A and B are shown apart, each in its own frame.
Chain A
Amino acid sequence: MTLVLTSLALLAIGAATSLLLTRVPRLALNLGMLFAFVAAVIAVIAAGDVLIRSPSQSTYEAAWPLSLGTARLSLDGLSAWFLMTIGVLAACVSIYSVPYMSSAVGREPVPVFCALFCGLLAALILLVCAADAVLFLLSWEVMTLTAFFLIDFHHERPEVRRGAWMYLVATHLGTALFVLPLFGILFARAGTTAFSSFAGALGSADRTTLMALFALGLVGFGTKAGFMPMHVWLPAAHPVAPTPVSALLSGVVVKTGIYGLLRLLSWLPPLPLVCGEVLLFVGVVSGVMGVLYALAQHDLKHLLAYHTVENIGIIALGIAVGLLGEATNEPTLAVLGYAGALLHVTNHALFKGLLFLSAGAVLHGSGTGEIERLGGLARKTPANALMFLIGAVAICGLPPLNGFLSEWVIYGSLFSGSIRGIGASGGLPAVGVAALALMGGLALACFAKVFGVVFLGTPRETGLQTHSIPTGMKTAMAALGLFCVLIGVLPSLWVPLVRSATIELANVPMGEFSTRIDGVLAPAIRLSGMAVLFVLAIGGLLVLRRWALSRAARRDVGVAPTVATWGCGYTQPTPRMQYTASSFASSLVTTFRGVLWPERMFAAPAGSFPATAHVETRAPDFAEHELFEPVFRGVARLFAMVRTVSWRGESESPGVAQSAAAHRRGPVRTLTIGMVSALRRGSIQVRLLFIVLTLVVLFLCEALSSVDRVHTTTGQDYQHTLSVGVNR
């Protein structure tokens, strides 16, 4: 516990020093990041201590100066797991930030950035160690605000302001409407704000209360985590933030939502089956839709942001299986589900951090993140290409990297749920397996697109300059890449660390963990080993090829000429003939146009000597434009009625409501208009369709209302047999 406090103190010192040294920004940057790095390393040590030498619950208490009770800090397995994730990523990011931000020295307030960075880190550490509702909510709020100011760092650009505001509005709505009532209910039941008292107070809660608490947590923490309909702030805020902040946002800030949800679940007694089923559904939707939207993006960081939504979906799948396991009293399911989710939390932080840092290096070098303008970067920055490749292979869940490991455990949990017939008689976990496989395939397509277009081929634009990447940035990326590889290759060192956190969540005895997880893990280790051999063989072949080529060159034997990648067989290709990212993804996007609703503006070439042709595709976010925009516009209209003062330029004020595409015909409008006009025209099929829909609704009503009836009748039968038995 002292280590955590030391790290917090260091962060406070770091923030203060960098604010004091505003006049010498370079020194402030170096010192601030040094403090952040040391604090992060100390946090990792503190967490590792708890994870390895299983928990010796240590708590720290201090009285608030205000009348808010006592502030309690404690470090159990769950906290330690998240603390370790935060520490590892933050240490790498702070190394990376020094060279990345030093180019902004003199132009932008870098010391403020450092202070906010230290503040965000401190809030994160405090958040996962808090054992008291007041402290938790305070650090939650500090985290939100510091993250907001960090996202808004380049606030002179309007899209940055828009992204930052969306983040602030979304997360505050989630906090105010869902997280605060959640803690209100908990406080009312327990009578104190200490976390340790919540579990006991909920032991006797009835089904409705439990479901309400779960729903509040799901929506409130889900807004932070980015579950599908509440994810709108992620693709708006991630791309516009400075790269170190994007990495932290995607790697750990989003995970605090998962932490909150897991912390809530650790207090709740086993929930009804339906909660797990709902979460599984949410996970499937987030995962599949996230990766589909990612496929349709043209901006590197936008794409990575949607992949965060996908991975949050995968984590939700794991948690859902854990819930199902708890509800049906199947320890295997609970252990595998929670362990898979927790492993994926860390793994995602590592490889997504790596990918964001690598994308930031591209941005730093070329000045743009638009995929269509980049190309051929592997020749100019081979180290960065390798790092991006490692991250991409890991996020696709391929062996032998870390993403494979956690996805394998989640696969295992879903399969065992399906075999045991849990969750709509095994149907839902089976759907989860199919969805996870679909996500893996689509993610692979997506990263084949990104890597192929950005790093292979030839540069698409001649005007783009490429700087070399500073050593500091390379070091940070190499550290993250090394973690990804090590975890994947040596899982038997890594997986036992998650034991205490899993056991706290799954409520099983200590010995259960290894017996349950080893059977699932053994084939994964074998597969990883084979993949390592495969990679080594490929590497050997490459070395052999280079050696043969150099020998051939020395002997002056004719060697086949090298041609441009994506040359498609032309002998004289130009960079414009290459595949573009959109054309690469186009077939998949077209296949899924029913769910994505991509927009396409197409001006076909006309005449014998066409002068201009133009095609543009976009995939606007469904939840943003069809769900929140109408709601927010309605709210704005409502408030316009009571507002008497208006100010200049209010129509340009940022936020969801005033986004540009006001007159867009989205899927909902298209469907409604199509339905109404078809009904007016009086097509037989449409009339029949309405009859069928009525029938379906009636069936559904009957099905839902008959649930209770079935329950009561079986109850009576049971009582009847009981009394018969007694009479005999």
Chain B
Amino acid sequence: MLQSAIDSILVLAVLLNLAMLATSRMAACIRTFALQSLLLALLPIAVGLRHETIPGAHAFVITAGAVGLKVFLIPWILLRVLRTGEIHREIEPFIGFTASVMLGAVIIVASFAFAKRMPLPTEAPTDLLVPVSIATLFNGLLMLVSRLKAITQVLGYLVVENGIFVFGLLLLEQTPVLVELGILLDLFVGVFIMGIIVYHIRREFDHMDTHLLDALRES
């Protein structure tokens, strides 16, 4: 029962990756990210429940932190930037949406193939965990590479972090809670600063396509 719940969360997370690659509206993309983060934030508790009847405070703290940051605060900041920054609301990809989804699917297959061969320090709670984390990581990297705007790149970084978060479940017991919270804090500060930068880029240059930032290079 619990096992199948964990598995379905992971499968949903992978599908949401593809959904993010396929959406053309930025706001919808940010909300999809929030949904994925919410699902993944439930995982520490679920994995904890598998081991003992009542999961430790550790898992609850991480879940609360992740929900607070990645489900509410960061999407709120991004949506606010989207509103106040008067950004053109459509994602402009380098690689077309269909092609990105295809690539995403290839990445998922490849990560399943790779995960089988990866030497792991501890045993994974479920067979899906490692492939899903690698797939999420690389899908985030794909978003980083293939999307044009600064704000979608922020989103890409966040998806990469989600992948790392899933991988971190392997080491749930070993990692001190302080380190986890530190990672979350880093993420928050990063997004906060990026939000401010994006806002200022728009104020200074009236657009925020990163490929037009080339004009800033030293020559």
By a beta-carbon cutoff of 8 Å, the part of chain A in contact with chain B is 424, 427, 681-685, 688-689, 692, 695-696, 699, 702-704, 706-707, 709-710
Contacts and interface: CB of A to CB of B under 8 A. Distances in A.
A691 to B, nearest CB: 8
A681 B210 CA distance: 12
A681 B142 CA distance: 21
Given A683-B214, A685-B210, A692-B141, A699 B114 contact: yes
18 contacts: A681-B214, A683-B210, A683-B211, A683-B214, A684-B153, A684-B213, A685-B145, A685-B146, A685-B148, A685-B210, A689-B145, A692-B142, A692-B145, A695-B141, A703-B117, A706-B118, A707-B117, A710-B119
Contacts, number: 45
A685 B94 contact: yes
A274 to B, nearest CB: 13
B47 interface: no
Contacts of A707: 117
Nearest to B150: A684
Nearest to A695: B141
A207 to B, nearest CB: 19
A221 B1 CA distance: 54
B67 to A, nearest CB: 29
Interface string B139-170: 00110111110000100000000000000000
A424 B118 contact: no
A709 B144 contact: no
Given A689-B145, A696-B138, 12 more contacts: A683-B211, A684-B153, A684-B210, A684-B211, A685-B94, A685-B144, A685-B211, A688-B145, A692-B145, A699-B114, A706-B118, A709-B119
A689 B144 CA distance: 8
Nearest to B144: A688
B109 interface: yes
Name the residue among A681, A684, A696 with the largest chain B CB count within 10 angstroms: A684
A681 B214 CA distance: 7
Contacts of B148: 685
Contacts of A682: 214, 217
A400 to B, nearest CB: 36
The main secondary structure of chain A at its interface with chain B is helix
Interface string B169-189: 000000000000000000000
A689 B142 CA distance: 8
A688 B114 CA distance: 22
Contacts of B147: 685
Contact of A710 (B117, B141, B211): B117
B114 A703 contact: yes
Nearest to A684: B210
B103 to A, nearest CB: 12
B113 A424 contact: yes
Contacts of A684: 153, 210-211, 213
Given A682-B217, A683-B211, A706 B145 contact: no
Contacts of A704: 117
Contacts of B153: 684
Nearest to B217: A682
Contacts of B94: 685
Contacts of A699: 114
Contacts of A709: 119
Contacts of B146: 685
A693 to B, nearest CB: 9
A703 B148 CA distance: 31
B118 A703 contact: yes
A281 to B, nearest CB: 13
Contacts of B142: 692
Nearest to A682: B217
A215 B213 CA distance: 50
Interface string B98-112: 000000000001000
Contacts of B141: 688, 692, 695
A695 B140 CA distance: 13
Contacts of A424: 113
B94 to A, nearest CB: 6
Contacts of B113: 424, 427
Most buried by A among B141, B142, B145, B147: B145
A697 to B, nearest CB: 13
A269 B60 CA distance: 58
A688 B138 CA distance: 12
Contacts of B109: 427
Given A424-B113, A688-B144, A692-B145, A706 B210 contact: no
A707 B153 CA distance: 35
Contacts of B210: 683-685
Nearest to B107: A696
* Closest CB pairs A-B (n = 5): A703-B117, A692-B141, A689-B145, A684-B210, A703-B114
A70 B144 CA distance: 68
Given A685-B94, A692-B141, A702 B214 contact: no
Interface in B70-114: 94, 109, 113-114
Nearest to A707: B117
A689 B141 CA distance: 8
Contacts of A696: 138
A424 B117 CA distance: 12
A219 B213 CA distance: 49
Contacts of B214: 681-683
A78 to B, nearest CB: 35
Interface centre among B109, B211, B213 (most CB of A within 10 A): B211
A452 B62 CA distance: 66
B211 A706 contact: no
A692 B156 CA distance: 13
Contacts of B114: 699, 703
B191 to A, nearest CB: 17
Nearest to B111: A699
Contacts of A706: 117-119
A685 B147 CA distance: 8
Contacts of B211: 683-685
A702 B213 contact: no
A684 B149 CA distance: 11
